[in-house]
């Protein structure tokens, strides 16, 4: 998809981690997953970055904490459909 370096820190029993990994796969993004529940070194790496929760995604120099789909799309250059309210059809009287 792109030449960006994508690293995702995950943990076991984390529904947002599962959702994030699923979305990256759906978008065909190459990424490296580092599960902090299964590898203590990954846990220490994440702490050294002053991050203490998962999911934590690092895209080149950009840090995205939690599951933030719009920010992920924007950072990865994946287009998304904007949804705007049609204020012309709203009645404020």
Is 40 among the domain residues? yes
> What average pLDDT does range 5-27 have in this prediction?
97
- Label residue 84 by pLDDT band (50, 70, 90): low
Residue 90: the pLDDT is 56
CA–CA gap between residue 20 and residue 75 (Å, rounded): 14
The CATH number of the domain where 25 resides is what?
3.40.30.10
CA–CA gap between residue 27 and residue 93 (Å, rounded): 44
Is 63 among the domain residues? yes
Residue 75: the pLDDT is 95
Q: How many folded domains does the chain comprise?
A: 1
Residue 1: the pLDDT is 45
Q: Which domain holds residue 63?
A: 6-76
Is 61 among the domain residues? yes
Is 91 among the domain residues? no
Is 45 among the domain residues? yes
The backbone region for 71, taken as left when phi is positive above 0, alpha when psi lies in -120 to 50, beta otherwise, is alpha
Structure tokens, 25 = 């796969």
């Amino acid at each position: 998809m792109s030449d960006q370096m994508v690293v995702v820190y995950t943990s076991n029993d984390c529904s947002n981690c599962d959702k994030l990994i699923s979305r990256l796969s759906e978008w065909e993004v190459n990424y490296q997953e580092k599960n902090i529940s299964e590898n203590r070194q990954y846990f220490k790496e994440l702490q050294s970055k002053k991050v203490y929760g998962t999911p934590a995604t690092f895209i080149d120099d950009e840090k995205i904490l939690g599951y933030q789909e719009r920010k992920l799309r924007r950072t990865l250059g994946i287009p998304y459909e904007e949804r705007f309210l049609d204020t012309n059809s709203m009645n404020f009287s």
